[in-house]
A and B are shown apart, each in its own frame.
Chain A
Amino acid sequence: MVAATPTVSAAELANIARTLRSHVVRMIAAAKSGHPGGSLSAIEIITALYFGRVLRHDPKNPAWPDRDRFILSKGHGVPALYAALAESGYFPVTELMTLRQVSSRMQGHPVQGLTPGIEASTGSLGQGLSVGVGHALAARLDGKSFRTYVLLGDGECQEGQVWEAAMTAGNYELGSLTAIVDSNRYQLDGAVEDINSLVPLDAKFESFGWRVIDVDGHDVGAVRVALHQARESHDVPVCIIAHTTKGKGVTFMENNNEFHGKSPSADQLQVALSQLAE
């Protein structure tokens, strides 16, 4: 288990990120199905949240009412989250290898109420930000200080519901809500720009009343700084646009959208693991 020390350095975070990446490729290879590309692009974001002292949470008490909420709206990236939850102590690391098997808690997409630490059932894209608005409203109603983080895919932002939620959060000035867009520039069938472009994404969120922070999504120190800046924001919701590479960390998966939803072969797994060990 990786302990989150109070003063965890960027180098330590980078090490944790490498561990999570190895889990992800192992799990998906063992399951012979899953989504490596979008799991690997989100690793630094999830590492900073769980190990960079951003989320206030208690793995021994997942239902703690005052915990910060993290909602993985791009549910197909869940291997990355399972790896972080296991390394945080929510469940044994050995359980990761049961991904996608019958009777496993490691479902192919997140299932609320089944897996400790999972806050929402997702996998039908476009819904998580609305759920985040609900948590942020509940915090305001109850006078609680917990914060809510929602991770979205860039392709996912094509869904209209994302913008309904963005409009509501902006108009209600939900300062405790942070959206993070894993902007890896690809969706399932190809490049986001070719299919239905989001450009300019920052201006869209800004025009809906959000503060926008751009960050290199693989500079884990910079991602942590951005998340801490968002923590300090209380007047309006913050959107962090994390510029990432799909398949990051495994050369033959990087920017190769074949690995959006395909598992590595046994040989490819060995190559991937050796690259991640370097």
Chain B
Amino acid sequence: MTTANALPMGLATREAYGQALLEVGTANRNVIVIDADLAKSTFSWTFGKVFPERFFNIGIQEANMVGIASGLASSGKIPFISSFAAFILCKGFDQLRMGAAYPKLNVKVAGSHGGISIGEDGVSQQSVEDVALACALPGFVVCIPSDEHTMRAAVRAAAEHDGPVYLRLGRPKTQIVHEAGVHFEFGHSIEVRDGHSLTIVANGLLVAQALLAADTLARKGIEARVIDMHTVKPLDTAALERASHETGAFVVAEEHMHHGGLGSAVAQALVAGTPAPVEYVNLGDRYAESGKPDDLLDKYGMRAKNIVSAAERVLARK
């Protein structure tokens, strides 16, 4: 059983993204990387300094970058494009719609500094709606890895996958939740802890918090199952269906606004299958503010303790 206190600190998922880009780019010469003046922040530079001829830092022009990726993909390349999640999705949305989703092109989109854990820069750079936006692009795979191992695996899977993919990367160093060789497939969640009292479904930074919450709950005699639902689309409905039968209650935890993220997807799936009560741990319907990442996660309620209270609320409804 995984206990959270023992989790070692790993790389930021953005740093693992850069390493994996270099790996897939070494294996496949069709991999092209573009960035929009954030190459050192997104770690796409890890690839860029080794393969300068296949790397383009085009400056501060996210919409143009998506359009260029559309052309590259149409001509047989596999473009990986990166910026902050807030900019690449919000500024490039129509281009993603017309140039990637609608023509079903092989465009890989990396949105870095997702969520509010970017911290002090504040709302303009905090992406709290990227998962909703990416899920609103038909045919996109939408994936939010929780640690460096699953991030590397997700980049490999994205390079193999024929079609558009959105990956959310995080700024802070992140605890290692999975084994290095963990089996990873888009659309297949990973159960990180078994339990039968309720199920905590989480992704990204909140998986480690869910494990911490499960430890606290266990001390109270509540056995929580924890599922890393790294892929929001396509969603692993089979795992949810099983969990609904076996545990009968859910907490969904994510670093995102309330609407259109993992919480919405899980609720939608449960209602279509075996309904069960659900409580949510997320930002709600608001923006955050500037502050240290930990201070913000505390103030805006995306911590293990919030998951524990949500678990107690949902058990009362079971």
A residues near B, CB below 8 A?
31-34, 75, 100-104, 107-109, 111, 121-126, 155-156, 158-160, 187-190, 192, 195-196
Contacts and interface: CB of A to CB of B under 8 A. Distances in A.
9 contacts: A100-B122, A102-B299, A103-B291, A107-B123, A108-B122, A108-B124, A155-B60, A188-B38, A196-B59
B117 to A, nearest CB: 13
A102 B86 CA distance: 21
B289 interface: yes
A108 B118 CA distance: 11
Contact of B60 (A33, A100, A126): A126
A79 B119 CA distance: 17
Size class of the B contact interface (CB-based, 8 Å): 20 to 34
A125 B60 contact: yes
A256 to B, nearest CB: 15
Contacts of B124: 75, 108-109, 121-124
Nearest to A34: B120
A103 B289 contact: yes
Interface of B: 35, 37-41, 45, 57-61, 63-64, 86-87, 90-91, 119-125, 289-292, 295-296, 299
A155 B120 contact: no
A195 B37 contact: yes
Given A102-B290, A102-B299, A107-B289, A188 B37 contact: yes
A59 B21 CA distance: 51
A160 B121 CA distance: 23
Contacts of A121: 123-124
A100 B59 contact: no
B91 to A, nearest CB: 7
B309 to A, nearest CB: 21
Contact of B290 (A100, A190, A196): A100
B37 A104 contact: no
B63 A123 contact: no
B121 A159 contact: no
A31 B290 CA distance: 10
A131 to B, nearest CB: 14
A100 B291 CA distance: 5
Contacts of A190: 57
